Structure 1
């Protein structure tokens, strides 16, 4: 058991922060390990979906302020002080949140595509109290997810929000019973992994690359990724499965 634990279940990689003595805060060494873990995930063709979480009932308290001097060296770094928040991750990431998800911990969760929180989780930018800036994507990702007004409220006041409030404003997608967020993340990851990967990955990249672009440019990006999907042959395969009777009568998997 190290500062970062990595487990692989089929095509799903679980990356867990394991620094219980500092509430899973991320120090310089930990950040490098996180960056390497996501780089390996990015490059491993056998791994399709990643889940980031924290051990022992805590997601992360953010940056380890005991290591602030070393962490500050990465403020302008390519991958961000937390190790991966500026990295282009080409496959889906799910954040399974438990306990405190605050400061840089929240910024890590915002870098995920889907967020799932235990019912007793607490979420917010507590670093506001100490003058520590948001430098791992918080000022850019949060307003895209919950809107400018709500984002400014959280960023300027540093208030904590409950899991239920986070769901009501779109900050988290699912709320589970205590201790069940990772189970739910695995359920969703397995469902996603059951779908044709080429289409899912290209649709995801079309969305992300089209953000904040003019509509005409976003539509062009969508069309280019759509053409790549069609050229892969996956659509023809799917059409034949439908003709054969698969997926008819509106039968779909439910979450």
Structure 2
């Protein structure tokens, strides 16, 4: 069976890591398949949202240490050893998480815009026990998501935390019943896809482009992306829709 399964549902791409015998650990071959899948999604204008998930009850246990020599050779790969963690996504990425989401698996999940977790999922940098460094964005993304203090606690202790704790500290955005994370991810992807697309994409890019800038520069970046949206006609079309009676009183029609 393929180590990575790709399914497309309308404008939603679902990328599934399929190595259940090793809790979806990523070896060299799998990392290359993930890299190809994500590059294909990024360049496909017909696909709007990508969901990354794992098969058979686990997201991923990280890098497959039985393939450590080949994986170590990918440390400087422009897209990251796991295949896509240094890639900039032009469109939304959602992580649908069940079971173990640890080590490089957690770093993959951190690269997503939104993380959805089954209630029994577990998170942690368990590679701390084996001297394996965080090299797929963990030291850079985690403190920006949950704060420096909490990030250092997870990084330095290597502790395993529950889905409930992950939700409380802002690591995950939604918790579902076990086995329902992918279903929720598809629901959210469909909501995103239902909105005027240029506006959604420009607002997302505005956030990422201004994230590490001063407030003044960030506001200018926001204005530039906003002007681009307005010039494209999205606001004019939205105003017509509102005047005709759609979307009143907070309704999402």
Normalised TM-score (structure 2): 0.98
Number of the residue aligned with 2:89:
89
Partners of 2:19 and 2:190 lie apart in 1 by 27
Number of the residue aligned with 1:160:
160
Following superposition, the deviation at residue 112 of structure 1 comes to 0.2
Number of the residue aligned with 1:50:
50
Task: List runs of 5+ in structure 1 lacking aligned partners.
Answer: none
Partners of 1:186 and 1:112 lie apart in 2 by 14
CA distances 1:88-147 after superposition (whole Å, capped 9, x unpaired): 110000000000000000000000000000000000100000010000000000000000
Number of the residue aligned with 1:240:
240
Instruction: Map 1:21-170 onto structure 2 (within 5 A).
Output: 21-170=21-170
Following superposition, the deviation at residue 250 of structure 1 comes to 2.4
Partners of 1:209 and 1:131 lie apart in 2 by 34
Number of the residue aligned with 2:186:
186
RMSD: 0.8
SS at match of 1:62: coil
Partners of 1:226 and 1:136 lie apart in 2 by 32
1:212 aligned onto 2:184: no
Following superposition, the deviation at residue 27 of structure 1 comes to 0.7
CA distances 1:138-167 after superposition (whole Å, capped 9, x unpaired): 000000000000000000000011001100
SS at match of 2:250: coil
Q: Number of residues paired by the alignment?
A: 253
Normalised TM-score (structure 1): 0.98
Partners of 2:215 and 2:36 lie apart in 1 by 35
SS at match of 1:13: strand
Partners of 1:40 and 1:113 lie apart in 2 by 18
Partners of 2:2 and 2:152 lie apart in 1 by 36
Following superposition, the deviation at residue 67 of structure 1 comes to 0.9
SS at match of 1:249: helix
Partners of 2:211 and 2:61 lie apart in 1 by 29
Following superposition, the deviation at residue 30 of structure 1 comes to 0.6
Number of the residue aligned with 2:10:
10
Following superposition, the deviation at residue 74 of structure 1 comes to 1.3
